[in-house]
Amino acid sequence: MTNYSMKNGAISSSVPWIISAVILIILPFIFTGGGSITIMNQIGITIVLAMSYNMLLGQGGMLSFGHAVYMGIGGFVAVHVMNIVENEYLWLPLPLLPLVGGLVGLGFATIIGSFSTRKAGTVFAMISLGIGELIAACCIIITVFFGGEEGISGDRTMAPPTFGIEFITQKEVYFLIAFWVLLSTFCMYLFTQTPVGKMANAVRDNPERAEFVGYSMRWVRYVSFCAAGFFAGIAGALFAINYEILTEQNLNLNMSFQVLLATYIGGVGFFLGPVFGAILFTLLQTVIGLQTDLWALYTGIVFILMVMFLPTGLTGLFAMHLIPLQLGRFGLLIKPYSKIFLPGLVFLLGTIALIELINHVRHHGEEQFMTLFWIEFDTRAFLPWILFSLMTIVGFYLSRIFAREVAEAWGEATYIEGERR
Amino acid sequence: MDLFVINIIDGLIYGLLLFMLSSGLTLIFSMMGVLNLSHAAFYMLGAYLAYQISVITGFWVGLIVAPILVTILGAGVERYGLRRVHQYGHVPELIFTFGLFFVIEELVQYIWGRSMVNYSSPESLDFIAFSLAGGTIPAYKVFMLLISVGIFVALYYVLARTRIGMIIQAALSYPKTVEALGHNVPLVFMGVFGVGTGLAGLAGVIAGPSLTTFPGMAFLLGSIVFVCVVVGGLGSLSGAFIASLLIGWLQTFAASYNVGAADILIAMGYEFPKDVYYHPWRDLWTLTLPQIGPILPYILLILVLVFKPNGLFGKRET
Amino acid sequence: MAVDALKLDNVTKNFSGTEIIRGLNLSVAKDERHAVIGPNGAGKSTAYNLITGRYQVSSGKVFLNGEDITNLQPYEVKRKGLSRSFQITNIFPKMSVFENVRCSLLWAMGYKYSFWHMVGSQSKLNNDAEEIIEELNLKDRRNTLAGVLSYAEQRALEIGITIAGGSEVILLDEPTAGMSVSETEYIVGLIRKVTEGKTLLVVEHDMGVVFDLADRISVLVYGEIIATGTPTEVKENQAVQEAYLGAAMEEH
């Protein structure tokens, strides 16, 4: 930070990017299954989308309820372009398609942002909601462009081959996505280091003061908004390439909520927060989604709890622990943490088991047996009910007792004299 | 002409239903400064709870008990959820209520399943109140109208004639002063949030049998209600009232007059294309008024926010 | 006669019918240190808000170095070379002290809405920011989030944000409000240092500070200037003593 001589700075700051690139290249050779590559592709797309969303919420203080629209529009146009390329009206190698999506997202954001960024807060949020609903409703009406309820589909393999690659396998698509994820992340990082990126933070923190240092808050927001639209459009084109189909579901309110959820769980206050959020969210969605049909309920509850108790997100949780680490008092935390771990786990398992059990009895009551955590049991016997209830109650009670110890130890471990907390 | 009268009545019923939601939303926003995005979810909860109660005891007990339950739930959400988030600022509050909407939606599906439930109007109201040539008005709709008007009158009375109403009115215009006067603000917040969501619950109870009770009902009405309060001007009760009626009629009329873009285009001298389903402008040619009815409120919302960011009747900066 | 750095010509402001500022005339010469005093509710902060474009004036004109700046947007006023601080601390709480100061320099150094410069590699920008932090005595707080600084440090940073970017005319709003004696000394010393060679207009309640700092003083009572002059002149002015100063002087 303190080093302004560009040479050293460039070398030391390029290290994380090189490491990331190496990891991205190695990953598909570690997780070789077709399923895991599909998940990684999905994660990559979500990363770009969540990071672009964080340009608004985390860095610019703009709460949007319609961010999926910019991804969706970029994606729809990308599919149309794919079809045009297939019919040979246009020559465009597939790896350049995300740029098209990005420009479309940028163009759309330029129009919408021209009036929506005038104010932040509730007005901005409501306009974004209105635009989101409007476009989602238009999907059904304007079938020429959106394809109605079935959406529109294309074929990525019909584009002119790039260095002999036709992007038939998932793995080839993976490298295309990985390249764009790295490039977009890098560009978004650079954006945070520019004057307008810095001022976006200032406007988020204190819009009025930002005006008194010479910046129009509206213009600062507008620039951030357009940039966010650009990267969302890239995510949309990546989606189009990966799935070869786009429907109304990719840009409706539900999708926008998922973007918010992924970003928030990761931590909006941190540049890399959305990356962790996107990874975790996609894993939850795909892995837990296979195990239970209640995954949306679980993620919703986790989300609400995080808004209440951990507004800085998961990255914030890690960052919080840097303070006791720096102060050399991390040891104080180990004992209370290990004490609360077991009761916490018991409480969690008990609650989930109860929820699943009730769900089974209510909606699949005709089947007497159910399997949970790889154990099959009789839902009509008393034992599981009593066991799960006991686990929940005892686990909760013990956790509460130990939580006090954690809080005390935490206060002691992070105490710094002379700073307001 | 008869269709027109029936639409006027239908639109009025729908508009008053919207007002039952938007009035609560406005009160909550005025007092607490937070737009409760989960408002329509409480509307849905009201319908489902009333359904559950009606299965056991019949419609009339549900009509009384379900709104009370929703009020208690709403107050609980404020006390144990929103109050905590309040310290982080307005944006997290909005995020909280937005998340709550989806959690309640999931909870409802968890408890009552993903398809619609058979919540119907009581048999004692299963007759046709009066008929006009070509259309009829069922007694249940008259009942809905009476309840809505009753709520409207009661709300007016409380706000204009009682002490608590004075405080709330004062808070609409000068929220900080009211706080400074030493009213128990947390308790007032909890009460207002409870009553506001309770009103939404009542709307759900009476709308459930008529508009069907299914997990998508909150989503369907929710965004329209936001349009009402924003178009009317955030924090303005009379604005919310006028906007609710306006949108009620707008949607009702748009749904029932089957004017097609084709008629207009032909009248303008264009020729109807032979094979319309392969025509590049096919969407324009097949466009009808009922089709664009659902998006009219959003267009209105965006126009109002662009040209009059404080809403049609709003005074407060949003 | 040289053009005044800041001139208010018969400025009025009414809020829904109530006149808060009633024909305010004020001239601040170049390089002058001018203080505005007056009882609570006299309209001092309102006057600042009118000058800097936070409020729209109802009538009258505001001139900066002879140029009409009436009803410009706050950011336009700042770009013309007028910068202000706030009575209630108004900083960027979630950014570090260094970022606070650096952001305040950006526009003045010509970066505007650039998204092609990397601020980290702009050595003049960073060096200037470091210098200001050094002047503020906040060097060891450089990387601390502004929101967790002590009150006096936040007030110092507030002044730092105001003077960064080298505005010629500086408006300070009660810079020592709510401070202990030693903290007040630190801030007054700081003001003296950083406003060297600049035009300063300061609203202040602490008469010790006012008489110590100001070349000339204007007394604002009920939206009007009732007297202007050197500290001694103002002290001896009959009207001022009756309206305001007598009571205040007894307190001190």
- Sequence spans of domains, chain B: 2-256
Higher pLDDT, residue C30 or A336: C30
Mean pLDDT (chain A, rounded): 86
Q: A297 lies in a domain?
A: no
Q: What percent of chain C has pLDDT over 90?
A: 31
Chains B and C touch, contact meaning at least 3 pairs of CB atoms under 8 angstroms apart: no
pLDDT at A29: 85
Rounded CA Rg of chain B: 21
Look at residues A106, A95, A44, A119 and name the one whose alpha carbon lies nearest to residue A71: A106
pLDDT band at A285 (very low <50, low <70, confident <90, very high): confident
For the residues C205-216, what does the mean pLDDT come to?
A: 87
Higher pLDDT, residue A95 or C244: A95
Lowest mean pLDDT among A157-171, A405-419, B295-309, C214-228: A405-419
pLDDT band at C176 (very low <50, low <70, confident <90, very high): confident
Mutation pick from B90, B107, B251, B283 vs chain A, by most beta carbons of A within 10 Å, is B283
Write the single-letter amino acid at A357. L
Please say whether the beta carbons of A214 and C75 come within 8 A.
Answer: yes
Express each pLDDT in B40-51 by its tens digit: 999 999 999 999
Residue A301 forms contact with B (CB below 8 Å): yes
Q: C113 lies in a domain?
A: yes
> Does position A205 have pLDDT exceeding 50, yes or no?
yes
Q: What percent of chain A has pLDDT over 70?
A: 96
Alpha carbon distance A133, A123 (integer Å): 15
The secondary structure of chain A in percent helix, strand, coil, rounded to multiples of 5, reads 75, 5, 20
Range of the domain at C156: 6-251
Report the number of distinct structural domains present in chain C: 1
Contacts of C172 (CB under 8 A, 6+ apart): C84, C85, C159, C162, C191, C200, C201, C202, C203, C204
- Record the tokens describing residue A187, joined without a space: 């560009």
Mutation pick from B34, B52, B91 vs chain A, by most beta carbons of A within 10 Å, is B91
pLDDT at A417: 61
pLDDT at B44: 94
Helix axes B237-256, B296-307, angle to 10 degrees: 140
Report the number of distinct structural domains present in chain A: 2
Write the single-letter amino acid at A171. K
Express each pLDDT in A302-342 by its tens digit: 899 999 988 888 998 888 888 878 877 777 778 888 888 88
For the residues B56-76, what does the mean pLDDT come to?
A: 90
> Does position B268 have pLDDT exceeding 80, yes or no?
no
For the residues B106-116, what does the mean pLDDT come to?
A: 88
Closest chain A residue to C107 measured between Cα atoms? A214
In our burial notation (b when 16+ CB lie closer than 10 A, e otherwise), range C182-212 reads ebbebbbebbeebbeebbbbbbbebbebbbe
pLDDT at B139: 83
pLDDT at A7: 45
pLDDT at A274: 94
Mean pLDDT (chain C, rounded): 87
Q: The domain that contains C101 carries what CATH number?
A: 3.40.50.300
A335 and A276 co-located in one domain: no
Which of A 223-262 lie inside 8 A of B, CB atoms? 253-254, 257, 260-261
- Record the tokens describing residue B255, joined without a space: 């749904």
Express each pLDDT in B278-294 by its tens digit: 777 777 777 777 778 78
Q: A139 lies in a domain?
A: yes
Alpha carbon distance A386, A393 (integer Å): 10
A274 and A392 co-located in one domain: no
Q: What are the chain C neighbours of A209 within 8 Å (beta carbons)? A: 86, 90-92, 161
Q: Are the beta carbons of A9 and C149 separated by less than 8 Å?
A: no
Q: The domain that contains A148 carries what CATH number?
A: 1.10.3470
Residue B307 forms contact with A (CB below 8 Å): no
pLDDT at B175: 63
For the residues B231-248, what does the mean pLDDT come to?
A: 87
Per mean pLDDT, which of A376-390, C39-53, C70-84 is the most reliable? C70-84
Among candidates A214, A220, A223 on the partner chain, residue whose Cβ is nearest the Cβ of C108: A214
Among candidates C78, C114, C120 on the partner chain, residue whose Cβ is nearest the Cβ of A214: C78
pLDDT at C179: 85
Residue B88 DSSP SS3: coil
Alpha carbon distance A236, A230 (integer Å): 10
Q: Are the beta carbons of A133 and B298 separated by less than 8 Å?
A: yes
For the residues A251-256, what does the mean pLDDT come to?
A: 89
pLDDT band at A237 (very low <50, low <70, confident <90, very high): very high
pLDDT at A149: 80
Q: A138 lies in a domain?
A: yes
Straight-line distance from the first to the last Cα atom of chain A, in angstroms, rounded to the nearest whole number = 25
> Does position B310 have pLDDT exceeding 90, yes or no?
no
Closest chain A residue to B94 measured between Cα atoms? A122
Q: Are the beta carbons of A213 and C79 separated by less than 8 Å?
A: no
Look at residues B21, B8, B15, B18 and name the one whose alpha carbon lies nearest to residue B201: B21
Contacts of A324 (CB under 8 A, 6+ apart): A330, A332, A333, A410, A413, A414
Express each pLDDT in C222-236 by its tens digit: 888 888 889 888 888
Closest chain B residue to A261 measured between Cα atoms? B99
Range of the domain at A155: 9-285
Residue B138 DSSP SS3: strand
Helix axes C97-106, A195-205, angle to 10 degrees: 120
Express each pLDDT in B185-220 by its tens digit: 778 788 889 999 999 999 999 988 888 888 888 888
Contacts of A385 (CB under 8 A, 6+ apart): A357
Q: What are the chain A neighbours of C169 within 8 Å (beta carbons)? A: none
Express each pLDDT in A132-165 by its tens digit: 988 988 888 887 788 878 888 888 887 777 787 7
Q: C1 lies in a domain?
A: no
pLDDT at A6: 44
Residue A421 forms contact with B (CB below 8 Å): no
Q: Compute CA distances A89 → A85, A168, A240, whole Å.
A: 6, 22, 19
| Residue A308: CA count within 13 A, CB half-sphere | 17
Strands B135-138 and B128-132: antiparallel
Q: Enter the DSSP assignment of C169.
A: E
pLDDT at C1: 52
Higher pLDDT, residue B164 or A260: A260
Residue A291 forms contact with C (CB below 8 Å): no
- Looking at this predicted complex, what is its ipTM? 0.88
Burial (Cβ within 10 Å: 0-12, 13-18, ≥19) of residue A188: buried
Q: C16 lies in a domain?
A: yes
| Residue A318: CA count within 13 A, CB half-sphere | 10
Residue C121 forms contact with A (CB below 8 Å): yes
pLDDT band at A243 (very low <50, low <70, confident <90, very high): very high
Q: What are the chain A neighbours of C55 within 8 Å (beta carbons)? A: none
> Does position B34 have pLDDT exceeding 90, yes or no?
no
Place of tokens 């205040």: C248
Rounded to 5 degrees, φ, ψ at A365 are: -60, -20
> Does position B130 have pLDDT exceeding 80, yes or no?
no
Binding partners of C (≥3 Cβ pairs within 8 A): A
Contacts of A407 (CB under 8 A, 6+ apart): none
pLDDT band at C74 (very low <50, low <70, confident <90, very high): very high
Place of tokens 């009370």: B68
